Amino acid sequence: MYIHELKNVIDVETPLGYGKAIAWIDYGNQTNTVWKVILYDSGMVRNFYDDDILVYPNLMDGGSIDKNYFTKKIKSNGKGNK
């Protein structure tokens, strides 16, 4: 297991909303990397697998994220309302 505390936080979008990643934990090749995220709206600290976060791209380069990514992901997994 390897824990890395980020010197510079990374803004991320999660299924629970907008937050800042402060660290990640690598448990090895059998488990996805886990990110420690502080949610901006509530201050709660939550853990997310790396496939459950989106890193905000550089807006100056024209980057943006799909705000409906997690809704689409839930529906494609068959867990959403029809």
pLDDT tens figures, 17-33: 999 999 999 998 888 89
φ/ψ bin of 28: left (φ > 0), alpha (ψ from -120 to 50), beta (otherwise): left
pLDDT, residue 77, reads 66
Model confidence at 57, pLDDT cuts 50, 70, 90, reads: confident
Cα separation, 18 vs 12, in Å, equals 6
- Any idea what DSSP says for residue 26? E
Give the predicted TM-score (pTM) of the model.
0.76
80, pLDDT greater than 50: no
Q: Give the pLDDT of residue 78.
A: 59
Q: What percent of the chain has pLDDT over 90?
A: 54
What pLDDT sits at residue 81?
A: 44
Confidence check: pLDDT of 54 > 60: yes
Phi–psi pair at 37, nearest 5 degrees: -125, 135
Please choose, from the candidates 7, 20, 31, 15, the residue with its C-alpha nearest in 3D space to the C-alpha of residue 55: 20
